[in-house]
Amino acid sequence: MQQSSGGLIDLLLASDDFYDLLATVQYLDVIQAHSTDALDELVALEGELEMTRASLSSQMQEAEEQQAQAQAALDEANAARAELQAQIAAQAAAEAAERQAALEAAQKDQGNSFTTESGNSAPVEVPSSPNAGSVDWNMDKESFVSSWAARIDAYLAGSPLAGQGRTFAEAAWAYGVDPRFSPAISMVESTQGRYCFRPHNAWGWGNVSWSSWEEAIWDHVAGLAAGYGGQLTYAGAQKYCPPNADHWYTSVLANMQRI
């Protein structure tokens, strides 16, 4: 322990004897040692505090950057959604205009015929309304199949496809396809299977042949699900029968409305 000369003299004068002086000096040494330890600890704590401040500052900056990135991603997603919605609206408007044009063409050409995808000749038919109406999917499978099987059987009565209503309905349920779609196409393309250009191909479906109506129906309905969204659209008509999409669309629609 270091003391000034004045401090040592004061200690000597204040002490009763040498032992008292020694005890006082030892006491002061203990106090100084504790003070030094406390000071060292304070310096260490100050260093830790500074490191913590730096770490928090870095974390805050990183969090702000992540927030900015998240906001940018959200803005981009919102812009993409708005663009997609605009495209959907534009496509819907174009589809509606094309449907209307097809209906007007059918009314003008009613009584005439057109060449189908299978190469057969079919009459131009005018639907009773612009839409086929919706299909109720809010029922269990057996109720759906039984209901539509009866309606399809009534529509196909007396044709080579007679009695296949349940097959059409089960395939429609399995693939989520309008149950009227495939039967209606069979009427337009082959008069319900009477004039098939390939064995059991009542739909002008590529150059495919099948060994049974059941196999053919399941494959055709699956194809309508995969390639046409499972429902009649004008865009689908353009794909299915490009040369005569207008008349094909209205004729299939008219037959769907009869089921």
The domain segmentation of the chain, as residue ranges, is 5-77, 110-258
What pLDDT sits at residue 194?
A: 98
In this predicted structure, what is the pLDDT of residue 249?
96
pLDDT of residue 131: 85
Predicted pLDDT at 4: 52
Q: If you classify domain 110-258 with CATH, what class do you get?
A: mainly alpha
Low-confidence ranges of the chain (pLDDT < 50): 1
CB atoms within 10 A of CB 124: 21
Question: Can you spell out the DSSP letters for 88-147?
Answer: HHHHHHHHHHHHHHHHHHHHHHTT-EEE-TTS-EEE----SSS--------S-HHHHHHH
H/E segment holding residue 12: helix 5-14
The Cα–Cα gap between 99 and 92 comes to 10
Amino acid 147: pLDDT: 98
